[in-house]
Amino acid sequence: EDQVTQSPEALRLQEGESSSLNCSYTVSGLRGLFWYRQDPGKGPEFLFTLYSAGEEKEKERLKATLTKKESFLHITAPKPEDSATYLCAVKGFGNEKLTFGTGTRLTIIP
């Protein structure tokens, strides 16, 4: 059974203070690892898909990386508008289902 564990559960940073969020996973054949951003009371918003170890993707202040066991979401010089819950999910072979972690709630303090 696919499993995803995210850490930390919550993270408070000062504006401009860079950090990383962790997503550890086990899956029987990785088809894709996905990062989403979710604002309170709203649907998850797609950020990145990573397909193989060593792959990296960037979008503004966010950079996602992937190894065979985990993924990191690096946040560089964050702003208050980056405050949200960040969700990691995996999709394995032979399975259309996404298995989600419980998320990291990120708060950026001005």
Partner 1 sequence: EAQVTQNPRYLITVTGKKLTVTCSQNMNHEYMSWYRQDPGLGLRQIYYSMNVEVTDKGDVPEGYKVSRKEKRNFPLILESPSPNQTSLYFCASTRGRGYTDTQYFGPGTRLTVL
Closer Cβ to partner 1, 30 or 78, answer by number: 30
Name which position in 24, 26, 49, 107 contacts partner 1 (CB under 8 A). 49
Place of tokens 């010089």: 77
Q: Residue 32: name the closest of 51, 58, 12, 11 by CA.
A: 51
Largest CA distance in the chain: 45
Residues, the chain: 110
> Quick check: 27 and 90 in contact, CB under 8 A?
yes
Closer Cβ to partner 1, 46 or 110, answer by number: 46
Name which position in 19, 31, 57, 83 contacts partner 1 (CB under 8 A). 31
Interface residues with partner 1 (CB under 8 A) are 31-32, 34, 36, 41-46, 49, 51, 87, 89, 91, 96-98, 100-103
